[in-house]
Amino acid sequence: MTALRPSLLLASIGLTLVDGLAADWPQWRGPQHDGITTEGSGWEGGAWPPADPAWVRNVGRGGSSPIVVGDRVYVMGWADERDTVRCLDAATGWDVWRQSYRSPRYGRYHAGDEHAYDGVSSTPSYDPATGRLYTLSIDGDLNCWDAGEDGAHVWGLNLYDLYGVGQRPAIGANTRDYGYTTAPLIHGDWAIVEVGDDEGTLMAFDKASGARRWVSECRDPAGHTGGLVPMTVEGIPCVAALTLRGLLVARLDAGHEGATLATYPWETDFANNVPTPAVSGDFVILTTGYNMNRMAALKVSARGVAPVWQQPTISKVCSPVIYGGHVYFAWGRARCLDLATGEQRWAGGGFADDSSCLVTGDGRLVVYGSRTLALIETADRSPDAYRELAARRGVGEAESWPHVVLATGRLCAKDRKGNLSCFVLRR
């Protein structure tokens, strides 16, 4: 087992956050795609969240997570053979606008686990530069909307229809195809999408017009994660994706758009690479259950990928968070690992497969799973033992595949049946 060099460890820790700063949550996994926010937890002792939900709305079925921008919540859901994109007033939960289009309950080549999921799986992405919203349906409908008062449709295309993408191939034990699950990534003038075509795994579309700008050198089938992750390697802007075959790090710099910088094999028997890679600097954490049954820390360079450590501790769905020299996630229990070695510092609580987590600006861990919202001290305050400050049970009615969101003083928790609860943590 190799320990991280001190310089790498310091680079991986990231910025110290300030409690209480208002922050949006405009895309999958928050402001920096890492599950960390400057928003405080609102913890003052006693009950947490401090009151019942300010509102609860059913917004349609699916694993799509909400996003929050200012006083608006954007969310997608499926019902009656239609996807609906909603803009909600964050204070009341009422519709500001909504748009819908025909969409099936499952992707057109769906295979396996239909009892465990249905409806839209990809999370919307908001572009602050243009005020537009980008969404992807489970059946490959990529759409751009004006996020203003009426949600006007700007452009759209279907990935299956345009590129003839087929079913994901069987790997090992069985075939799994959940349709399109990965949120679009807005980068500069592009909306980057994990298409999984034999022409290219990733494709970049002009965010203004929808015209295709480039395709990746890698041609792996698409994975089943929730999002792509921007990263910088030796000064080179890149994007990290966990495809069906493994980790892909593709370049985004001019003249090299889509070129492969590095890859690392990571396949499961059921094609279920679900947790999004956790990225900090040039450091990447991967984890999966099934035949993989491990978590690995990797250092990415222009020369390839170097394994740093691996541990048998796993997460099947929850995307890990790298914060303060530690790795946090929830699967079975909430867990804290040492970033340098992968050794477990503490574990506790009871959280099933349907768990997600985030780290707040005052250095606390919020976990949502098993219909429970829990607030837990990170290793900043409790380095050697699991310390749960508070828990609210009975949130939602079903599995919480959508990840929990904290923004502008509000905590949003959604289940797969579409029940979205909004708790006010601070006024």
Distance (Å, whole) CA 182 – CA 193: 8
Question: CB-side exposure of 11: number of CA atoms within 13 Å?
Answer: 16
Percentage of the chain surpassing pLDDT 70?
Answer: 95
pLDDT, position 19: 46
Encode pLDDT of 273-302 as tens digits: 899 999 999 999 999 988 899 999 999 999
Q: In what order do the strands lie in the sheet with 82-89?
A: 67-69, 72-79, 82-89, 95-102
**Predicted confidence (pLDDT) at residue 14 exceeds the cutoff of 50:** no
Q: Under 8 Å CB-to-CB from 124, ≥6 apart: which residues? A: 27, 64, 67, 74, 75, 76, 85, 133, 134, 135, 183
List own/partner pairs for 1-5 with CB under 8 A and 24 or more apart.
1/309, 1/341, 1/342, 2/307, 2/308, 2/309, 3/308, 3/309, 3/340, 3/341, 4/283, 4/297, 4/308, 4/339, 4/340, 4/341
Residues 305, 222, 212, 100: is their CA dihedral positive or negative?
negative
Residue 200 tokens, joined: 């290219």
Strand ranges of the sheet holding 405-407, from the earlier edge strand across to the other edge: 55-58, 419-424, 410-414, 405-407
Query: φ and ψ at 153, to 5 degrees?
Result: -75, 130
Q: Which helix (H) or strand (E) holds 163?
A: helix 159-163
Question: Closest Cα to residue 399, out of 76, 61, 33?
Answer: 61
Compute the distance between CA of residue 68 and CA of residue 199 in angstroms, rounded to an integer: 34
The two structure tokens encoding residue 220: 């792996």
Question: What distances in angstroms separate CA 272 from CA 49, 110, 176, 275, 410, one per listed residue?
Answer: 33, 13, 7, 9, 31
What pLDDT is stored for residue 21 in this prediction? 63
Q: What is the mean pLDDT of residues 106-118?
A: 93
**Structural domains of the chain, ranges and CATH numbers in brackets:** 6-424 (2.130.10.10)
Among the listed ranges 7-21, 104-118, 181-195, 399-413, which one has the minimum average pLDDT value? 7-21
* 118 pLDDT more than 60: yes
- Which pairs count as long-range contacts for 376-383, CB under 8 Å and 24+ apart, including other chains? 376/334, 376/348, 376/349, 378/323, 378/324, 378/326, 378/328, 378/336, 379/324, 379/325, 379/326, 379/336, 379/345, 379/346, 380/324, 382/346, 383/345
Q: What is the average pLDDT across 47-60?
A: 96
As a whole number, mean pLDDT of residues 125-136 equals 98
Average pLDDT over residues 364-378: 97
Give the position of tokens 């968070």.
321
Q: Is residue 301 exposed (0-12), middle (13-18) or buried (19+ Cβ within 10 Å)?
A: middle
The pair phi, psi for residue 10, each rounded to 5°, is -65, -40
226-248 pLDDT per residue, tens: 999 999 999 999 999 999 999 99
What is the rounded average pLDDT of the residues 369-394? 97
CA–chain centroid gap for 293, Å, is 20
Mean pLDDT across the chain, nearest whole number?
93
- With a cut of 70, say whether residue 15 has pLDDT above it: no
At 183, list the tokens. Answer: 């949120």
Q: Give the model confidence (pLDDT) of 298-332 as tens digits.
A: 999 999 999 999 999 999 999 999 999 999 999 99
Q: Hunting for tokens 């022409």 — which residue is that?
A: 199
Per DSSP, the chain holds a count of helices (H) and strands (E) of 2, 31
Decide which of 22 and 418 is more confident. 418
Average pLDDT of span 126-137: 98
| pTM, two decimal places | 0.94
pLDDT at residue 382, as a whole number: 98
Closest CA to 212 of 232, 191, 196, 231: 191
What's the rounded Cα separation, in Å, for the pair 220 and 104? 25
d(CA 90, CA 69): 9
**CA–CA dist 176, 168 (Å, integer):** 7
